[in-house]
Structure 1
Amino acid sequence: MNEPTRNDAQDAATEAAQNAVDETTSWEYSAERGTIQADLEKGLDAAGVDVSDTEKQRLVDEIDDVKGDEHSGGPEVDPAEVSPADGA
């Protein structure tokens, strides 16, 4: 059996982060920015991933922008800005 690679861990972290972003977008896009940020951070923590502060801010901004165009969809996570929380 093959051992998981760094790329496998990165792909899993990116997918987990994207799931947290998608859930926050679905449930909180019309909320206040503080609520969006808190829900996103909670989801990322639960997913066990770290996302750079700059990326978190961009994601919050783009989720908040969905208020103006509900059909635009949510933001896509930049894989370069995500890592497993344990630093793997």
Structure 2
Amino acid sequence: MKKMKKASPKILYNDHALQVLEFDRVREIVASLAHSEKGRALLSETTPCSDAVSARELLSESAEYMDALRFDDPPPAADINDISEIL
């Protein structure tokens, strides 16, 4: 059996691509859809994945979450409070 080599990370984006795709605007729109201040803050700081392996893992997690939302009762999100100052 042939042993597989681990894939080396490859950069998936560059600054020019982000500018052309208006990534800042997309991030702003997505952040505005968050149900909590903490969610908006996290989304506002989001950056593209820097390697293919991480991107695949995150896509898999996203697919799992979407399946949970589609087939189960979604968790209530309207009453989420930011407790970061308390912590």
Higher helix share: 1
**Fold-level similarity (TM above 0.5):** no
Higher strand share: 1
